[in-house]
Amino acid sequence: MLADLIRLWTASSRAADPDTLRAAYDACLGFIKIPYLFLDDQSDRGEYRSMALRQLEHDHERLPPDWTQQALRTEPGPPSPDWKSFS
């Protein structure tokens, strides 16, 4: 999980092409969607989710709008107030 987050930050900071950036987000967001990975500590899940979504807020203009909206729609949990900035 942490390695995927580091790959995401690297792709974001190096201005990776949209496909590479999207693949990095898919890996990070995929972990959030697997509930049993965070059974021991839901606060870890929330922190990981927050880091990925804060980065997405920064990168959303570099990603296809339909992908961004789909990623947010399939994200489990209560809506984040930041999501409104992606519309």
Please determine, for residue 2, whether its predicted confidence score (pLDDT) is greater than 90.
no
As for how many domains the chain has, the answer is 1
Provide CB contacts within 8 A for 79, sequence distance 6+: none
Q: What is the pTM of this model?
A: 0.69
**Identity (one letter) of the amino acid at 79?**
P
Please determine, for residue 45, whether its predicted confidence score (pLDDT) is greater than 50.
yes
CB of 46 closer than 8 Å to CB of 84: no
Please determine, for residue 73, whether its predicted confidence score (pLDDT) is greater than 50.
yes
pLDDT band at 52 (very low <50, low <70, confident <90, very high): confident
Tokens 């979504």 -> residue: 53
Domain containing 19 equals: 2-86
| pLDDT tens, position by position, 53-66 | 888 888 989 999 88
Number of other CB atoms surrounding residue 35 within 10 Å: 10
Distance CA 4, CA 60 (A): 18
